[in-house]
Amino acid sequence: MLRRHLGLRTVKTGLAVALALFFVTLRGSPAPIFAGIGAIVAMSRTLKDAVRACLTQLAGITCGVGIACLFLAVFPDFKFFLVGVGIILVILCCNALKLDFAVPLSCIVFVSVCMMDPESDYLLYGVNRLLDTSVGLVTALAVNVGIKPYNNRARISNMLTHIQQLFPGYLDTRVLRRQYPDLGALHQKLRTLDSELSVFEKQPPPSLSHRRAQREARRDDAAYLRGCQQLLSKMTDELSALCNMDSSPPPSPENCARLAALGLSIPENVYEAGKCEEADVTVLNFHLKNLLDAYGFLSDLNQPV
């Protein structure tokens, strides 16, 4: 049976939508769904991202409402194909203002205003949709601020350890068994790690008290984690260099001893050179030593906190 982790961000999204719907219902909105949509699109992992999402969406829906009202003023008896033309204008306007993220919601608001009851006041209707969506955006921002912010520190530490633990297997395949491992999964994990680190670096201190000291501690911790990531990147570069060799020269006795210390079983024929140049032996052991040095440095750095 599959087990799904119920993350805090999921709970916060549900709470933000429920509160947003409650608030717009109090003001008697006939279309509370826009508040729910606004709460969903504004829920981000960090406060900085949430603020940016709110401002971007607010500008985008203002653009959508404005163009819709302009369309209805110019084409009161519009045909449906004109809605398609209007969508194009909304997208172009959002792109020009660098509001690409807000395009879907802007288009939804535009169509909603255009398809309103012909007997209604389109300007009032558009303003109300803008208000409804703004309630959702502000509610999501308040929930993000008021409830424990996203903290991926433990996730990053676990990823560092997991990725490091992959290297003995890669070295066993490439150096000892003289085969070529697929490094695609390793590169993908490093990209994910870089993304998580970027999120961590944008997170504010956990509390407002002693803000300066906590900000400095967060900056130092982020620098430490980046250093660990750079060691992993160096190890990956050295491993890639080993995999780019078109021969499989033997490792030196010193490097074999270090591989054995990692728990690898050294084959009896490991020192058989096979078809390779003397320079190939030097190159392999150079990159292997660099990789093992970085592995050792990372083992010293990446200790549980």
Q: What is the mean pLDDT of each run of 10 residues along the chain (305 residues)?
A: 63 90 88 87 76 85 88 76 86 87 87 78 84 90 77 88 96 93 95 90 60 74 92 96 91 94 90 78 95 94 63
Alpha carbons 181 and 243: distance in angstroms, whole number: 8
User: How many CA within 13 A on the CB side of residue 166?
Assistant: 19
Contact between 116 and 125 under an 8 Å Cβ cutoff? The reply is yes
200 and 222 in contact (C-beta within 8 Å)?
yes
Output the pLDDT for position 205: 58
Of residues 109, 103, 172, 175, the one with CA closest to residue 136: 109
Give the contacts of 181 (CB within 8 A, at least 6 positions apart). 169, 170, 173, 174, 243
Nearest to 10 by CA among 42, 43, 38: 43
User: What CA–CA distance (Å, rounded) separates 146 from 125?
Assistant: 31
* Residue 292: count of CB within 10 angstroms of its CB: 21
The CA distances from residue 131 to 18, 32, 70, 128, 178, in Å, are 17, 10, 18, 5, 65
Alpha-helical regions (H) of the chain = 8-26, 33-42, 47-74, 80-96, 103-114, 122-146, 153-171, 184-202, 211-243, 253-261, 278-301
Contact by Cβ (8 Å): 41, 56:
no
pLDDT value, residue 292: 97
Q: Please tell me the distance from the alpha carbon of residue 128 to that of residue 147, in angstroms, as a whole number.
A: 28
Q: Rounded CA gap, 218 and 153, in Å?
A: 10
What is the distance between the alpha carbons of residues 302 and 305, in angstroms, rounded to a whole number? Answer: 9
Q: At what angle do helices 184-202 and 153-171 cross, to 10 degrees?
A: 160
Q: Let me know: does 20 contact 38? Beta carbons within 8 Å.
A: yes
C-alpha dihedral over 68, 70, 72, 75, to 10 degrees? -130
Question: CB of 294 within 8 A of CB of 231?
Answer: yes
Q: What does the pLDDT read at residue 235?
A: 97
- pLDDT of 256 reads 95
Measured between alpha carbons, how far apart are the two ends of the chain, in Å? 32
pLDDT confidence of residue 207: 52
Chain-centre distance for alpha carbon 78: 42
Q: For residue 282, what are the CA distances in angstroms to 135, 240, 260, 262, 296?
A: 66, 16, 20, 22, 21
